[in-house]
Amino acid sequence: MQLAGIDLDPQHDWIDEYEWDPVAQTQDRTLTGKLVVQEGAKVHGRPITLDGTGCAWTPLSVVRQLEALRDQPGLVMPLVLPDGRTFSVIFNRAEGAPLTARPVHREVNPSLSDPYEVTLRLISVKPAEAGGM
In a domain, 88, yes or no: yes
For residue 44, the enclosing domain spans 2-124
Calculate mean pLDDT across residues 53-81.
95
Q: For residue 119, what pLDDT is reported?
A: 97
In a domain, 133, yes or no: no
Q: For residue 133, what pLDDT is reported?
A: 45
In a domain, 129, yes or no: no
In a domain, 112, yes or no: yes
pLDDT band, residue 97 (cuts 50/70/90): very high
Res 109 pLDDT > 70: yes
Of the candidates 106, 122, 2, the one whose C-alpha atom is nearest the C-alpha of residue 60 is: 106
CATH number of the domain that residue 74 is part of:
2.40.30
pLDDT band, residue 127 (cuts 50/70/90): low
pLDDT band, residue 128 (cuts 50/70/90): very low
Domain count, the chain: 1
User: Taking the CB of residue 41, how many other CB atoms lie within 10 A of it?
Assistant: 7
In a domain, 56, yes or no: yes
Calculate mean pLDDT across residues 97-116.
92
In a domain, 38, yes or no: yes
Average pLDDT, the chain: 92
CB 79 within 8 A of CB 14: no
Q: Which residue has the higher pLDDT, 121 or 132?
A: 121
